[in-house]
Amino acid sequence: MTDRSQTLGVAYAGQQTSLVFKARALFLKHEWVRGYTLLSPTLLVMICLMCLPLFMLFSYSFWTQNYLDIDKSFTLTNYGAFFQKPIYVALMMKSIRMSLFCTFITLILAYPMAYFIAFKVKSNKLVWLILITVPFWTSYLLRVFAWKVILGFNGVINSGLISMGLLDEPLQFLLYNPTAVVLTLAHAWAAFAILPIYVSLEKIDRALLEAATDLGDTPTERFWRVTWPLSLPGVIAAGLLVFIPTVGDYVTPRLVGGTTGIMIGNIIQSQFGKANNWPMGAALSVISMLLIALLVVTFIVSTTRARAKTS
């Protein structure tokens, strides 16, 4: 019995060794195996922390909430409710408009700063880049509350204007409106727009600018003919980095938006919270993701075709 066990153990060990050698040979022979091996930790995290929650969210959207219980029967009731209630569609369109306006304002503010660092700063560029990230050293909520203090009824702006004698009473339209939401979001995401634009500007070959000057271009003509087209990839990346997350933001609209500044993210949060209607909240989330993905893909395809025609 002992000899048989030893024989089986030797055979098993030999089989294991053979499998190890085969796996090693496969690893050394195929480059794609080595690539996926390096990606496996990241892929595992992506699957566990992104794909599975999204799958659960997608599944919830086809269920219904019956008071405290969830009916897991397949239904499209939640999606139908989105199109049957005008408030959902109106808030979705409003959120997209506010996010587009916020993206436009952020890019206008970010491009000059990125241009200054890329072309005007000759030394210590790292210091300037670190200074850009200084607001992110504090909590996002603290930054939003800071804008609430600045724009408030007795805030910095109103108090300053009254102390200078320019106003007799505080301005009431600075806070709790869509403008306050856009302004706060633009400040919160400014660094995310500055950095990709800066990288795009920094990669521009300065010889091209010198050649444009030698050919008689003015600084303005040189910017629009050389600098701006070559920096477009950074501008597009910055726009997407700002637009995608701001559409679903719900913290900033709740704190500084008031009743007129709420966005679709606030409705989704209320469905998962006070309303306790997770299936409806999941359906709204899925619709938001699909609509944003459609807009982003359309924008990328259109810009790619436009650049291909001009080049």
Model confidence at 97, pLDDT cuts 50, 70, 90, reads very high
Side-chain-side CA neighbours of residue 36 (13 Å): 7
pLDDT digits over 225-267, tens only?
999 999 999 999 999 999 999 999 999 999 999 888 999 999 9
Q: Quote the pLDDT of residue 307.
A: 74
Q: 247-252: long-range contacts at Cβ-Cβ below 8 A with a sequence spacing of 24 or more?
A: 247/95, 247/96, 247/99, 247/288, 247/292, 248/95, 248/288, 248/292, 249/185, 251/140, 251/141, 251/144, 252/144, 252/181, 252/184, 252/185, 252/188
Task: State the Cα–Cα distance between residues 148 and 143, nearest whole angstrom.
Answer: 9
Q: Quote the pLDDT of residue 139.
A: 86
Model confidence at 201, pLDDT cuts 50, 70, 90, reads very high
Q: Quote the pLDDT of residue 23.
A: 63
pLDDT digits over 98-109, tens only?
999 999 999 999
Q: Which amino acid is at 110?
A: A
In the predicted model, what is the mean pLDDT of residues 182-211? Answer: 93
Instruction: Tell which residue, 97, 99, 58, has the closest CA to residue 79.
Output: 58
Helical pair 86-115 and 190-202, crossing angle rounded to 10 deg: 50
Q: Quote the pLDDT of residue 12.
A: 44
Range with the poorest average pLDDT among 8-17, 55-64, 194-203, 297-306: 8-17
Task: State the Cα–Cα distance between residues 259 and 35, nearest whole angstrom.
Answer: 51
Task: State the Cα–Cα distance between residues 46 and 95, nearest whole angstrom.
Answer: 28
For the chain, the 3-state helix, strand and coil shares in percent, each to the nearest 5, are: 80, 0, 20
Q: Quote the pLDDT of residue 14.
A: 47
Task: State the Cα–Cα distance between residues 168 and 156, nearest whole angstrom.
Answer: 15
Three state DSSP letters for 95-152: HHHHHHHHHHHHHHHHHHHHHHHHHHCCCCHHHHHHHHCHHHHCCHHHHHHHHHHHHC
Q: Does the structure show a pLDDT above 70 at 155?
A: yes
In the predicted model, what is the mean pLDDT of residues 182-190? Answer: 92
Q: Residue 30 has what DSSP assignment? A: -
Asked if residues 80 and 282 have their Cβ atoms less than 8 Å apart, the reply is no
Q: Quote the pLDDT of residue 194.
A: 94
Handedness of CA 70, 73, 74, 79 (dihedral sign): negative
Task: State the Cα–Cα distance between residues 16 and 18, nearest whole angstrom.
Answer: 5
pLDDT digits over 54-90, tens only?
999 999 999 998 877 888 899 999 999 999 999 999 9
Q: Quote the pLDDT of residue 61.
A: 93
Q: Which amino acid is at 138?
A: T
Average pLDDT over all residues of the chain: 86
Q: Quote the pLDDT of residue 306.
A: 77
Handedness of CA 41, 43, 44, 46 (dihedral sign): positive
Q: What percentage of the chain reaches a pLDDT higher than 90?
A: 50
Q: Quote the pLDDT of residue 172.
A: 79
Residue partners of 253: CB distance under 8 A and separation at least 6: 181, 261, 262, 263, 265, 266
Q: Quote the pLDDT of residue 34.
A: 67
In the predicted model, what is the mean pLDDT of residues 163-190? Answer: 88
Q: Quote the pLDDT of residue 89.
A: 94
Q: Quote the pLDDT of residue 21.
A: 61
SS3 of residue 35 by DSSP: helix
Side-chain-side CA neighbours of residue 33 (13 Å): 9
Model confidence at 282, pLDDT cuts 50, 70, 90, reads very high
